[in-house]
Amino acid sequence: MGESSAEPLRGTIDLLILRTLSLAPMHGWGITQRIQQLSDGVLEVNQGSLYPALQRLEQKEWIDSDWQVTDNNRRAKYYRLTARGRRALGAETESWRRHVLAVEQLLRAT
């Protein structure tokens, strides 16, 4: 856990989870690893925010879960994107981009 890694910004964790799950269903630990990989080790998701976020998304029915057996024969809870979640991912991505652009614009304005 290098010093270079950072907590994702508040509010973006939902987006990160949705994006990760859009590639393939995955369990909680796998999601943290995937985010780390995809962000080249920059983003590190804390378990304290991961699981509540998963629970929240499940309540919103953006993701669904079931118990499956992993490659090395362990039972694990796998999360998977629902159709509703896929639509939400589009909207969230859109809004994130607008947000980034706006922040960028603000920073350049000086």
Structural contact between residues 18 and 62, judged by C-beta atoms closer than 8 angstroms:
yes
Stretch that binds another protein, among 5-13, 14-22, 71-79, 88-96 (CB under 8 A): 71-79
Q: Quick one: which of 7, 61, 94, 104 contacts another protein (CB under 8 A)? A: 61
Nearest distance, CB of residue 47 and another protein, angstroms: 5
Burial (0-12, 13-18, 19+ Cβ within 10 Å), 18: buried
User: Would you count residue 68 as binding another protein (CB under 8 A)?
Assistant: no
Please name the residue that has the structure tokens 């925010």: 49
Residue 105: how many CB atoms within 10 A of its CB? Answer: 9
Binding another protein (rule: CB under 8 A), the pick from 55, 69, 86, 100 is 55
Asked if 51 is part of the footprint of another protein (rule: CB under 8 A), the reply reads: yes
- Select from 67, 43, 38, 63 the least CA-distant residue to 53: 63
Out of 4, 40, 59, 66, which residue is the one contacting another protein (CB under 8 A)? 59
Q: Which is nearer to another protein, 78 or 89 (CB)?
A: 78
